[in-house]
Structure 1
């Protein structure tokens, strides 16, 4: 091994709101010798980081420019409106975009939802980040519509959130460079899709386990009846040529009387 060679590792990017802990734990159980490094990135930065080789794979939000990138959609999030606990929104179970028509609704520059028509009244300035917008909501300046995971990520005790029934939804996907589908990427895809280590496409350790299991099984001995059924090409049970095969002498009858 030369000094320029490095040990294998896996770099995983993820956008705000995604919690990769479960998949990382399974990775560490199956591939303990290959370290996994987490790389937090913004939703806008994630595709560029993957294209530039800054990460082997990443959790991203759809839609995005998928040029040179493969993606597997994983799940869709509920969209919610974040509001102060004393706001009228807190008194209902859910709202529609029309219910927000008279409210100031923030649309931060890092917004992850795609709107045909944004709800509410626009603020004078767009907050730089979702986190900044949450601070403004806490100050009582306006409301914020985001995927539920972001509402949880930036949750405050003085805020609450409710589902927005007719808002666009955000989808989370696993993505990686199209021409860099390595064995380690395949391993991580298998983990995310819930494949077991012994599944047909679960690469890690499965062949070795099958070989070890086969080697541990004792060879079966042939049954006694079958093993002794033939001897020298002759079928057992048939008399062989020799003394035992000589014909028995004919029985003598009683002598006839002469008349």
Structure 2
């Protein structure tokens, strides 16, 4: 008998470890399988059913999918550790205007007017661009998580305060979801164990008058007649 499981695809630099720990606590009998996928392939993996859900960066083609925004990553400039730009803790776009910059083919930072002077050679991957930064060919503008993922002792990075952020989202197939997918969505959204988005909303609190009227209706249903405030029982003629 095949053991049930849920498959999560995540792009390089994605951070599913926290959710994997929570999943293991809540669903110890069901595996959460983690698969690293290329940024360009993440959405296709969900559409093809190769993974049940995917952690990916936006914008990307998400046709046929539903996306749940999670967080925004800071954008940083990766430079050699002894670079002049490391003299400050934060950078602005103006600081990079004349700086040679590398633009890998798998670049995920959407910045129409990105500063810098693009280097003629475009490396295939962000990881390859990091190697060229170390070789002194230029700076690299990238999400902070990728700068951390490919960290080297001879490199460092600085946040660019006026750069666009890199949105990260959870992608799932459109339409009704399985119980396991709904459970995972609840985890990434921070829902507590046992809670469900399908649970009925709590009944609204009633006013004092509504409570009094409800009591009177209950008495009437039991064959009792409520007295009017301040008055005695009326005599029949």
TM-score, normalisation: structure 2: 0.80
Residues 1:85 and 1:202: Cα distance change in structure 2 (over 3 Å): farther
Larger radius of gyration: 1
Q: Secondary structure at the match of 1:161?
A: strand
Cα displacement (A) at 1:200: 3.8
Q: CA deviation at 1:104?
A: 0.8
Deviations 1:91-146 (A, max 9, x none): 01211222111111011011111121232111111110000000000111100011
Which of residues 185, 188, 191 is equivalent to 1:189? 185
Residues 57-95 of structure 1 show CA distances to partners (whole Å, capped at 9, x for unaligned) of 010101112211011101111111000111111101211
1:196/1:202 contact within 8 Å kept: no
Residue of structure 2 equivalent to 1:22: 18
Name the count of aligned residue pairs.
199
1:222-253 CA distances to partner (integer Å, 9 max, x unpaired)? xxxxxxxxxxxxxxxxxxxxxxxxxxxxxxxx
1:87 corresponds to which residue? 83
Question: What corresponds to 1:63 in structure 2?
Answer: 59
- Unaligned 5+ residue runs, structure 1? 204-259
The CA deviation at 1:202 is 8.5
| Residue of structure 2 equivalent to 1:201 | 197
Q: Deviation of residue 193 (structure 1)?
A: 1.0
Report the equivalent of 1:164.
160
Q: Of residues 126, 129, 154 in structure 2, which corresponds to 1:130?
A: 126
* Distance in 2 (alpha carbons) for counterparts of 1:14 and 1:49: 10
Quote the offset at 1:185 in angstroms.
0.5
What SS does structure 1 have at the residue aligned with 2:23?
A: helix
1:100 and 2:96 matched: yes
Aligned partner (choices 130, 135, 141) of residue 139 of structure 1 = 135
Deviation digits for residues 151-186 of structure 1, max 9, x if unmatched? 110111111111112212101111111135111100
TM-aligned CA deviation for residue 35 of structure 1: 1.0
Deviation string, structure 1 residues 193-214 (Cα, Å, up to 9, x no partner): 11111224399xxxxxxxxxxx
SS of match in other structure, 1:150:
helix
What's 1:211 paired with? none
1:154 aligns with 2:150: yes
User: Partners in 1 of 2:136 and 2:196 — Cα distance?
Assistant: 55
Q: Report the TM-score, using the length of structure 1 for normalisation.
A: 0.74
Which residue of the partner structure matches residue 233 of structure 1? none
Query: Which runs of 5 or more structure 2 residues have no equivalent in the other structure?
Result: 200-237
Structure 1 residue 7, shift from structure 2 partner: 3.3
Note if contact 2:75-2:159 (Cα within 8 Å) is conserved in structure 1: yes
